[in-house]
Chain A
Amino acid sequence: MNVAGMLRRDGIAQHLAPNALAIALAIIVVVFAVSEPAFLTSGNLIGIVRQVAIIGIMATCMTFVIMTGGVDLSVGPVLALSGLASYFALQAGMPLPVVILAGLAVGALVGLVNGLIVAFLQLPPIIVTLAMLSIVRGTALIVGGPEQHLIRNEPAYSFIGTGTLMGLPFSIYIFAAVALLMILVQRRTPLGLLVAAIGDNERAAYLSGHRIRLTKTLVYVICGAGAALAGIIQSSQVHTALATYGPFGTELDVIAAVVLGGTSIMGGNGSVARTLLGVFFLGVVNNGMNILNVPIDIQLIAKGAIIVVALALAARRA
């Protein structure tokens, strides 16, 4: 009963978290805007969205994984490997849809392996995906070597990351589409409800006749595919595929965004929309400190402190 009481507090905390974060975000925006008016220019604001697109896509796609009590540390190397897969498909002269599919397939495949091991062998996700981090990075380095693979004269492919449509970078549209799709999936499909149910009480979901293992596997596949999509955009943006892209720390940025959005790393309640708030929070912090030319040491200290304060604020309100 005491446990129930504690959980109840956390539950309320999770409901208040988005407000605390939104308030914190507003405060930070005001601080940056006052100290550097250029922060609020439309160019910079569009820049922020463009900058967070890659982490944002990965974070929205990882939200479900974390809601089911899992985590995916392997997204960084997946990003690299999918870029390489797309590059090789391009080299082979495949049409663009096939190229994109090749990249996505690699990510989905890694996600599938993660998901199958986590769901069916019931091994701890943090270790499974840590192992996979190592395995996928090794594979990427074997496949791609240390060389940069330049993507030249592929206007269609390059459009994904660098093109503009109605004045906005095309990557923003992809990000928005993925975000909307994931929000739709969460709010308007059985899968979304089922993910929440599994996070809340896996056993009860099983006894309600749901296919838990299948759902869990699917959630990792989505996460892998999301990381792969991010990898395609990145390789298109930099006209290069490289095995070392998505270095150590990428996965932590993604997880930080999800958790800042109020999803508990232990699973349970969570929301894609709130994850987006977390993504933008981190994006604004990074952008603002870059625009103020804050040195890297202070940037890192401030980032850590801001995460702590934002989350503590959310917990305090409970």
Chain B
Amino acid sequence: MAGALVVLGAGHYGWALLMAEETWQVVGLLALAGMATIAAYKTGFVRRVERDWAEAEPQLNRLAFAVLIGLILVLAGSHFALLMISTVLLYFIASLGLNIQFGFTGLVNFAGAAFFGAGAYTAAVLGAQALIPPLLILIAGGIVAMAISLPLLVPIVRTTGHYAAVVTIAFGVLFRTFLEVNEILGGPQGLMVESMKLPGWDFYNAPNLFGFETSFYLNYALMAAGLAALVFALFRRLERSWIGLHMDAVRLDETAAACFGISVRKTKILAFLLGNLILGVSGALYGMMISFIAPASFTFSDSLLLVSIVLLGGLGSPWGGVVAATIVVLLPEKLQLLQEYRFLLFSILVILVLLFRPEGLLPRHLRNFFPNRRTGA
């Protein structure tokens, strides 16, 4: 019950936050969230939610998805709200990719935006050819992101910690500078991206829903929601599999993992490629939705945004990722009211969260291989 209440409440809260326009409304909503959290801890409500989640996870997941779809449909006519929902969802998907890399396996990746951008650029180039069906372009975006990460495999596998960080930072800078200095991919001016098309349906058109004129972003919001659910399920299955267990072992102690037959190299390679694949796919859809991309959108600071989603949410925690993606994407937007002061405020806010919740907003729980099923022990 408590779990269902939280899911429904979160849906309403999301709606209110998207609709909030005035400063006092945004501040009020943030204060409300803070107070509700404190109250939930004080009254033991949190524990009840956790218990519900442990007992009925699949049902609650389905409910959450239904609430998300409901939210999207309620806002079907509101372009901007749908754009924001889709952006949150796509950043969330990207953060799951990163989470496989450093939430599970401990591989730091400070070039997330580069792989995200690789997907978007793939969508731009392939979309312009009109030879490949757009649905396949999404996958192609992932594959290209994976392919450009191949040269990094050797240094990534051999280095650890900060040394690995430098490899990815260097790659991120290199990627962006490369896009800027040559004209092949539009140079600094960027490229147009064709919209998503399914057979018989161009996402450029606004769907007609029971006679109501809706926003064309409805297409993207629904598709992003579907993709998010799919990647979420994959992410959960990965976590709850031997591969996920091995990734944890590699993150927590490479030497011990190797002594128990786990191939550290293969595990890292798998995590790096799989993560970049997901980053690329989400980037491709993002590119199609935004319809115009340029190197300036895939900089080091954009990579940092992705990293901060993972850390704010809690390493390896997908639900934390949802909350963090909402904060990281929506908050600067809501802070537009503060104009030039908003980044200062945003960075201070992130520092405070990390100081007081170093494990992230919703820390990851212990592994439960098959939720909803009592494993015979």
Asked if A and B bind, the verdict is: no
